C-alpha cells in the first residue's frame, strides 16, 4: 500500500527551525545570497549535521560545494511552519500578563496576528490595548466562527483555566497556547501547547545548582571568563 501521509518531522527539529529562520533573515538583510550548514552551525553553536537534518524536513535541497540559497531557504522554512501567510489568534484573559502579550509586537515577526482579547471582567470589556479590543467572553464563539480563527492564547488565572479552555474548545478554536500552569483537559482534535514557566524555572534552578558546584568562585572567575570572550 502506498504511503500517502506526509512523513512527520521530529518535534525537536521543528522547534529549532525558528532559530535558523532568525539567522537567515539577518543574513538576507546583510545581502548574503547563499549559506552553508557549516556556517549556520558555527553561528548557532550546534552541529552541522543536525542543521542539515533539520533543514531537510522542510524539503529544501542545497547544492554541494555551495550551500543553500538564502531566500529559498527562508521561504521553505516559513512555508513549512505556515508562517508565510499570517494566522490570526485570540487571547483569553486580559490580566497583567494577557495585557502585556496583547500589546507585545514580537509575535508579528512570526506572522501571528493577535486580533483581539476576551475577558469576563466588565471593567476590562470594551477597552482597547494598543488597538486590540477586549470583548466579552460570550462573543468568542461567534467571532471565532466569523473570522475563522484557529488559535487561542490562554492567560487567565489558574483557577479559571479549565473553564476558559472548555469555552475556547466549544467556540471552535483548534489550538490553545496555554500560559497557565494547569494541565488542561481537551479533546484529541485540539492542540494544546504549554508554556510551562515552572518547568523552565525547575531546569534553571537545577542547572544553576550544578553550575555553582562546578564554579564556586564568584566574581574573579566570571570576570576573567567574560574578558576572555570579548
Partner DNA sequence: TAGATTGTTAATCGATTAACAATC
Burial of residue 189, with CB atoms counted within 10 A of its CB: 0-12 exposed, 13-18 middle, 19 or more buried: exposed
| 229 counts as binding its own copies under rule CB under 8 A | yes
Distance CA 89, CA 86 (A): 10
Sheet holding 87-92, edge to edge: 128-129, 132-136, 112-119, 87-92, 151-154, 175-178, 191-194
CB of 161 to DNA, least distance (A): 24
- Among the listed residues 22, 26, 32, 38, the single contact to DNA using CB under 7 A: 38
Which 43-82 residues touch its own copies, going by CB under 8 A? 44-45, 80-82
- Partner whose binding site includes residue 37, from its own copies, DNA, none (CB under 5 to 8 Å by kind): DNA
Which 149-178 residues touch its own copies, going by CB under 8 A? 150-151, 158, 166, 169-170, 172, 174-175, 177
When the beta carbons of 1 and 4 are compared against its own copies, the nearer one is 4
Which 130-149 residues touch its own copies, going by CB under 8 A? 145
Which 92-131 residues touch DNA, going by CB under 7 A? none
- Among the listed residues 25, 28, 52, 69, the single contact to DNA using CB under 7 A: 52
Q: Within 13 A of 23's CA, how many CA atoms are on the CB side?
A: 17
- Partner whose binding site includes residue 162, from DNA, its own copies, none (CB under 5 to 8 Å by kind): none
- Partner whose binding site includes residue 200, from its own copies, DNA, none (CB under 5 to 8 Å by kind): its own copies
Distance CA 102, CA 42 (A): 35
Rg from Cα positions in the chain: 22
| 13 counts as binding DNA under rule CB under 7 A | yes
Burial of residue 155, with CB atoms counted within 10 A of its CB: 0-12 exposed, 13-18 middle, 19 or more buried: buried
| 85 counts as binding its own copies under rule CB under 8 A | no
Is 43 within 8 Å of 25 (Cβ atoms)? no
When the beta carbons of 26 and 66 are compared against its own copies, the nearer one is 26
When the beta carbons of 7 and 65 are compared against its own copies, the nearer one is 7
| 208 counts as binding DNA under rule CB under 7 A | no
Regarding beta strands 34-35 and 175-178, do their DSSP bridges make them parallel or antiparallel, or are they unpaired?
Answer: unpaired
When the beta carbons of 74 and 101 are compared against its own copies, the nearer one is 101
Is 208 within 8 Å of 202 (Cβ atoms)? no
Amino acid at each position: 500500500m502506498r504511503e500517502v501521509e506526509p512523513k512527520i518531522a521530529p518535534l525537536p527539529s521543528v522547534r529549532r527551525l525558528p532559530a535558523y529562520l532568525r539567522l537567515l533573515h539577518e543574513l538576507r538583510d546583510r545581502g548574503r545570497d547563499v549559506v552553508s550548514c557549516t556556517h549556520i552551525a558555527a553561528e548557532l553553536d550546534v552541529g552541522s549535521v543536525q542543521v542539515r537534518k533539520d533543514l531537510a524536513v522542510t524539503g529544501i535541497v542545497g547544492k554541494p560545494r555551495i550551500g543553500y540559497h538564502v531566500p529559498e531557504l527562508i521561504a521553505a522554512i516559513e512555508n513549512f511552519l505556515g508562517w508565510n501567510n499570517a494566522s490570526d489568534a485570540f487571547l483569553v484573559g486580559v490580566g497583567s500578563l494577557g495585557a502585556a502579550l496583547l500589546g507585545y509586537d514580537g509575535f508579528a515577526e512570526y506572522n501571528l496576528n493577535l486580533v483581539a482579547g476576551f475577558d469576563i471582567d466588565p471593567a476590562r470589556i470594551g477597552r482597547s490595548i494598543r488597538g486590540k479590543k477586549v470583548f466579552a467572553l460570550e462573543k468568542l464563539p461567534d467571532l471565532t466562527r466569523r473570522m475563522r480563527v484557529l488559535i487561542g492564547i490562554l492567560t487567565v488565572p489558574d483557577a479559571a483555566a479549565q473553564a476558559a479552555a472548555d469555552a475556547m474548545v466549544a467556540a471552535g478554536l483548534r489550538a490553545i497556547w496555554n500560559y497557565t500552569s494547569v494541565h488542561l483537559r481537551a479533546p484529541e482534535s485540539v492542540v494544546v501547547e504549554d508554556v510551562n514557566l515552572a518547568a523552565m524555572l525547575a531546569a534553571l534552578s537545577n542547572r544553576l545548582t550544578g553550575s555553582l558546584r562546578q564554579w564556586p568562585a564568584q566574581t574573579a572567575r566570571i570576570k576573567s571568563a567574560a574578558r576572555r570572550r570579548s
